[in-house]
Amino acid sequence: MDKYQLVGFTINFLHILGNLITYAIIGRILVSWFTMGRPGGRGGPVVRFLHEVTDPIINLARKLPHKIGMIDLSPLIALIGVDLLIGLIVYLLNELVML
């Protein structure tokens, strides 16, 4: 396996990982709309899984100013951050191959 194949595989893996994280955050947003005000906490196993997967990323986004009134923008900040981070890593990998 040469370096072009390795970098290509890594870039594809990063895109898939970024998409999975994005879908998990969007799923968390949608689930939060439907479980709002429901007694009993966080919900079933799917809801707990979404929270466990996305909590580290969303908690990082919560360290920034993230509220407008009662609207929590931390999932949006997390989505933008994941996209920017994946884009930066892919750019750096492409530049590394060109050397």
At residue 41, the pLDDT reads 57
**Given CA atoms 8, 50, 85, 71 in this order, what sign does their dihedral have?**
positive
pLDDT, tens digit, for every residue of 27-63? 999 988 887 766 555 678 888 899 999 999 999 999 9
Give the residue from 32, 29, 24 showing the smallest Cα distance to 53. Answer: 24
CA distances from 77 to 38, 42, 93 (A): 26, 22, 24
Give the residue from 25, 65, 73 showing the smallest Cα distance to 49. Answer: 25
Residues 6 or more apart in contact with residue 35 via CB below 8 angstroms: 42, 43, 47
Domain ranges of the chain: 3-98
Please state, rounded to an integer, the average pLDDT across all residues of the chain. Answer: 89
What is the value of pTM for the model shown? 0.85
Strand partners, 67: 72
